[in-house]
Amino acid sequence: MKVMFTSKEYARLLELVHFGLHVVKAYHGPDHPGKQRYAEVEQKIFELALPLGCGDLVEAAPTGGLQASAKLANDERVEKTLFEFTNDAFWHELVARLADRDCSAQQAKLHLAQSTPGVEPPPSLEEQVQAHEDRYWAEFQKHDLRHVIVLPARQG
């Protein structure tokens, strides 16, 4: 297969590879299977940087091979994109986990209430989780982290 790139297009491809590798490797140790899965493709793409006029975007890695250079990794647009991704992932994960936690507690209470005659059936689990997520999104959009209090986990 033959694909033609301008230097500018190839620089954008290197940015995309950097973004993808960040998602795969950012929060895992060096032995994570995702790192090994993409290592060969990563190196092939980085090796083409010099002949395609983007040699300044890669550098020798301390462990051998090539890696994104500081010029690529510290580019303002690249850093902004990665920050926005990490920030969005954090908020989505926080909202989902809080909603699941609240819904589980509510389900336990509703289970007890269901055994009482004359009590209406509860909304579906999906509707309950969505209601909790909506409440958290409204709170975080209005107040960011100002009202969040992190308590240490209970021991025992």
Give the pLDDT confidence score for residue 23 in this predicted structure. Answer: 87
The pLDDT of residue 119 is 63
Rounded CA-CA distance 98/65 in Å is: 42
Could you give the CA distance from residue 139 to residue 156 in angstroms, rounded to a whole number? 32
Write down the domain spans for the chain. Answer: 7-74, 77-143
DSSP for residue 28? S
Is the pTM value of this prediction over 0.85? no
pLDDT digits (tens, 9 = 90+) for 77-88: 999 999 999 999
Q: What is the pLDDT of residue 31?
A: 73
Torsion of CA 103, 106, 111, 115, to 10 degrees: -150
Q: Summarize pLDDT for 21-74 with one digit per residue, the tens.
A: 888 887 776 677 877 888 899 999 999 999 999 999 999 999 899 999 999 999
Contacts within 8 Å (CB) and 24+ apart, 37-45: 39/65, 42/17, 45/13, 45/14, 45/17
pLDDT digits (tens, 9 = 90+) for 102-131: 888 777 777 666 666 666 666 777 888 888
